[in-house]
């Protein structure tokens, strides 16, 4: 197996970078649009050396790199302008792509959280999870506009709802929801009543009801008065989708909302 082929299993061949999140300094942007290089395949822009061979640093090298994540010597791991303005030694690195999920639950995480938790996100990427409103907004701004909800009820019936238009506004809009274009097998377009609504939590009431729905029912959401979708309730038996096949909120045991371009 060639070395480039080996790396190809873990990395894409060419780097296309869109900054969705901020960090110490945007060292990654230096590698934008670069091809991947290894010691036996020199695709970098250095005119004098093969950076991957010379430094033992396979990467999307430019001339050469501002990120040191693949060096042979672990003590050389680094990120350009790491707080101190230098390649300060790093002891641990984890590089990942945030899942394009909005919410996923099977009942293990408490969802009746406050506004800041819903804004920033919480839960476990491998289990019950809320993406975070500010991150959903960034996906929306980047063109992720098709949303699919997959649901399973207590008797094992599976259904889905897909929307051709899904958008979450920024913080100044109250993370206002825009959703339309329903298709699927869920039985009813339950999400349409939430179209145009701001997000509400128990400590920030943006719904149209005389009560705070998120506080009274423990259901933070883009509540109207109050809502037909229950994906964030405290009581797992209360999870539901209005008119789910049976015409009622038959309890759901698993819910997943995801977006794509």
Note the pLDDT tens digit of each residue in 37-72: 888 998 888 888 888 888 777 878 888 766 666 665
Give the alpha-carbon dihedral of 104, 136, 24, 39, to 10 degrees: 70
DSSP string, 178-208: EEEEEEESSSS-GGGGGTTPPPBBTTB--SS
The torsion angles phi and psi of 109, rounded to 5 degrees, stand at: -120, 140
* The two structure tokens encoding residue 6: 């080996």
Note the pLDDT tens digit of each residue in 128-171: 889 999 999 999 999 999 999 998 888 888 999 999 999 999 99
Cβ atoms of 25 and 80 closer than 8 Å? yes
Cβ atoms of 211 and 224 closer than 8 Å? no
Of 33-42, 81-90, 122-131, 204-213, where does mean pLDDT reach its minimum? 81-90
Note the pLDDT tens digit of each residue in 174-212: 999 999 999 999 888 889 999 999 999 999 999 999 999
Angstrom CA distances, 88 to 65, 71, 126, 181, stand at 14, 14, 31, 50
pTM for the full model? 0.66
Domains of the chain: 1-97 (4.10.530), 101-260 (3.90.215.10)
Q: How far apart are CA 36 and CA 30, in angstroms?
A: 13
Q: How far apart are CA 79 and CA 88, in angstroms?
A: 7
At 18 the pLDDT is 39
């Amino acid at each position: 197996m060639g070395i480039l082929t080996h790396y190809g299993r873990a990395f894409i061949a060419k780097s296309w970078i869109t900054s969705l999140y901020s960090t110490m300094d945007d060292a990654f942007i230096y590698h934008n649009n670069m091809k991947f290089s290894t010691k036996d395949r020199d695709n970098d822009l250095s005119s004098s050396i093969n950076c991957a061979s010379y430094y033992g640093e396979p990467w999307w090298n430019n001339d050469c790199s501002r990120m040191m994540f693949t060096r042979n010597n672990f003590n050389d791991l680094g990120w350009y302008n790491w707080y101190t303005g230098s390649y300060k030694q790093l002891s641990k690195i984890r590089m990942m792509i945030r899942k394009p999920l909005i919410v996923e639950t099977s009942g293990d995480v408490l969802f009746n959280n406050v506004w800041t938790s819903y804004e920033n996100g919480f839960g476990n990427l491998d289990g019950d999870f809320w993406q975070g409103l500010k991150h959903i907004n960034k996906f929306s701004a980047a063109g992720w506009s098709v949303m699919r909800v997959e649901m399973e009820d207590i008797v094992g019936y599976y259904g889905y709802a897909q929307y051709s238009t899904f958008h979450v506004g920024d913080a100044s809009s109250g993370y206002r929801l825009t959703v339309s274009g329903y298709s699927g097998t869920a039985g009813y377009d339950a999400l349409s009543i939430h179209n145009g609504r701001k997000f509400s939590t128990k400590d920030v009431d943006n719904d149209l009801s005389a009560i705070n729905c998120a506080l009274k029912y423990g259901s933070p959401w883009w509540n109207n008065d109050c809502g037909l979708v229950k994906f964030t309730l405290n009581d797992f038996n209360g999870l539901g989708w209005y008119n789910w096949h049976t015409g009622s909120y038959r309890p759901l045991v698993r819910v997943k909302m995801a977006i794509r371009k």
